[in-house]
Structure 1
């Protein structure tokens, strides 16, 4: 069983009590996950960025390239402590419930968007209704599913336009959302949802100003947020420039005045720019610098590593897209053919931990060995299982990845392991950049297998299961559907006792081993490096840069 260096414990009722009472900033801790604190206020920094998949709208951003920007320019009801991911109130004065189904939210007064308009209860209700409404096709709309009336906001038709004719959504708004006054609104869920307050710090639940609804398309290119920073420019394929928001009155502001995300096509280029002091922070160390801990000698006292709520997986294309992987035995055989330990040792220099399930060890409810023998390398058993399934019917197994990040080496090593164990050709194929890669997956044009990863949205075992594997979920890239799995998730969400809820979630996770919709590869440790110009670099529990602590020396 894998030991954890940090456990994020989120009990159902205690989370509600915590948020209702409110709490102050969490303290910073040093160690291997951060550099020295302090530094001066002001100035500007540059960090590694990548091409967002979609326009920068909170409810339509489910990937890190856009998510890192969204989190810097939007504040939500709840903030997650950088070190522990513990939820604490941000824009919420309180979030109260007596039954885990009816919630009253009071919004702090005096907060504004970057265009000077007030953040009110209506800012949240309107934003969530927009996200939920099916014809708006928001990738994070699924996160509104627990709220009463969600089903009526969805289109029910089939084909190219499911919203046409009889398939038109019955309602444009959620019956479970009500504005009580300027700074109070209520949420009613269809069923009890014990961890709802914990979820409300995710970007899908960000508020939106009136300007968004006047021109959503223009807003996506230059969003108007309410967070510590505001977006000044998005130079497509080149950079995204943020500056400090002078109207921000929250408790989580940053020290630097300007942040520029420089968009790179590969991680080696970003790393070399850090070495040359042409880039201040890279949140990804290339495989070439991980070998023999080269990055530590390259960047003495300018590197950090932290175990984070991240898991790397390989997902199979939906059966309708590629039927060659339809049989679970074929998927299980491929998983058993992957020598995770050797790949981690040779490619990542031991900076990953082999995954034994689909849930990160850093969250409460994690259970080791949920994948069982199917995540243990055994070439003989793998080949026997493939034979039992009738063999692989396609010409070759393919594994696609985005070529603008450090995935080439490990995907090629994975394919070599599969080929040697199964005797079937396997080819790792790079796609030019993350935006193109994700678009091909979203459009269901990606065949074979493809790299997937999950960075937790909020600290809960549920977050590693429901958004990825529940029927119709926003990040269900393989179109996995199992009624028994869905039923267990619903039952778990209704539990008021955290231990009972976790047990249900664990039972649901165990079903994934039978179906193998995605292959668990390894749990994440985020490694960062920075120039000699900055200090206070901290890796959050989510594996991102904590912009509230970074400063120039």
Structure 2
């Protein structure tokens, strides 16, 4: 997620990039103070390999450090704990070396076993971790996670993980994968302390989890907030300068924005659509905003397990061509969104231009003809969480489609559910009764992040049960490429295969627009994850 990193979704000149002019990140003198940030209740207990959505992801990423991290300005993967990650010529074996002396927040040192044991735990099918599929590249994954859900795993350890010494281990893949290294900054690959594996009740352990990152757990109050405090034993170079961060829970984006205006909330990574109209947010916040292109996109997902008629390409293509993306991004988002012309945003390295072609353009007459040719008649719901600021744009999509398809007997309607947690539960338990809105915030800077997770058979976020053997084969071909440049062509071909069946209707990518209170002097917005870069926050004197 991630589906909105899998969560809730949204200009400044691009020259401003994603950072407010002033103090940057990096180590500095610690400043007293607590910073409050927009958040929501995590969907699951705070275990990295089971965290697949944005709200839990914000907390887990603040508490843990991985082998790699993603530069907030560029989104590129950089060494964090790793000193080197060396691939073999065919990208089938990766030798991983990492820093000595890096500690968990319980004082124990991070060693190779902490990575190996964590990855084996995450991949082992009986543990039912949401991010298990991220380990499917590793040799022996099928032995710990058989394709048949009823089958018993042959073992609980992947043969492709081998310890060299306490600060080095080797990863052998079952096939070449040129993108594998980039994944290693994602939270599924975080190390876990020995106390986690010793705990009989893992969910109980997760009520007060222990990581190895810049912040440690302090408190969680359901439906109120999660509080983290700075951990002074953090070994990374980008040490935070604030004492505490509080992720406050809100029932709506508009309620959070009102608190931001009044100074009762210090940071919100996306202002709501109501604040985008005529650049209202600039006046409300007196210029305390930042923005730029982020690796995020929004779509309508069509459950393949529901009405078979919804899989008719004529119907889906027609609905897509009845959406006036340009008009909606202008009227609802004040051009803080950019209409998609494919399934991967153009901000992602290796994305394919115009992969969706005419089917992502507004052609109401052709749309009407295609829908009539499909033979379908009925009203299709669009499900979304009511607490996420999506009402305005979904209603705009509904109005656009219903106007274009008037007289065909086909229409859409907005069907909200109370909270993001409820929506995610419906998605994961295959209980969707209509289309559902979705957002993808990239886990690593490659088309493979979204294409594999959302569309590959058995993908970690493929909650609509889409399966296309030809698409799966094209992804494997892309990963087997010698370079990322060569892989891009195959990823583009995979996108064009999606266009034929269109299991998701692409909508728009995002120009991230964040707001902050006068308590904050400077802060960055992470280009990859569309969240505040906590280590960059500096407080006003």
TM-score (norm 2): 0.93
Trace 1:140-539 onto structure 2 (pairs within 5 A).
Answer: 140-157=131-148, 162-163=149-150, 167-213=151-197, 214=199, 215-318=201-304, 320-392=305-377, 394=378, 396-423=379-406, 424-539=410-525
What is the Cα deviation at residue 30 of structure 1? 8.2
Provide, for residues 38-76 of structure 1, a one-character-per-residue CA deviation record: whole Å limited to 9, x for no partner: 396231110100122211111111111111111111100
Provide, for residues 363-399 of structure 1, a one-character-per-residue CA deviation record: whole Å limited to 9, x for no partner: 221222110111111111111111111123x4x1110
TM-score (norm 1): 0.91
CA distance in 1, matches of 2:88, 2:538: 43
What is the Cα deviation at residue 355 of structure 1? 0.4
Q: Residue 156 of structure 1 contacts residue 168 of structure 1 at CA under 8 Å; is this kept in 2?
A: no
Provide, for residues 277-333 of structure 1, a one-character-per-residue CA deviation record: whole Å limited to 9, x for no partner: 111111121111100000011112201111100011110012x23334121221111
Larger displacement relative to structure 2 (496-505 or 254-263): 496-505
The alignment's C-alpha RMSD in Å is 1.5
DSSP-derived class of the 1:289 partner = helix
What is the Cα deviation at residue 156 of structure 1? 4.3
What is the Cα deviation at residue 511 of structure 1? 0.4
Provide, for residues 11-34 of structure 1, a one-character-per-residue CA deviation record: whole Å limited to 9, x for no partner: xxxxxxxxxxxxxxxxxx982522
Provide, for residues 121-159 of structure 1, a one-character-per-residue CA deviation record: whole Å limited to 9, x for no partner: 1111111111111111111111001000111112444xx
Larger displacement relative to structure 2 (75-84 or 458-467): 458-467
Trace 1:56-67 onto structure 2 (pairs within 5 A).
Answer: 56-67=46-57
DSSP-derived class of the 1:418 partner = helix
Aligned residues between the structures? 515
CA distance in 1, matches of 2:307, 2:240: 46
Q: Residue 403 of structure 1 contacts residue 433 of structure 1 at CA under 8 Å; is this kept in 2?
A: yes
Trace 1:95-106 onto structure 2 (pairs within 5 A).
Answer: 95-99=85-89, 100-106=91-97
Out of 125, 130, 138, the residue aligned to residue 121 of structure 2 is 130
Larger displacement relative to structure 2 (33-42 or 55-64): 33-42
CA distance in 2, matches of 1:126, 1:405: 36
Q: Residue 78 of structure 1 contacts residue 200 of structure 1 at CA under 8 Å; is this kept in 2?
A: yes
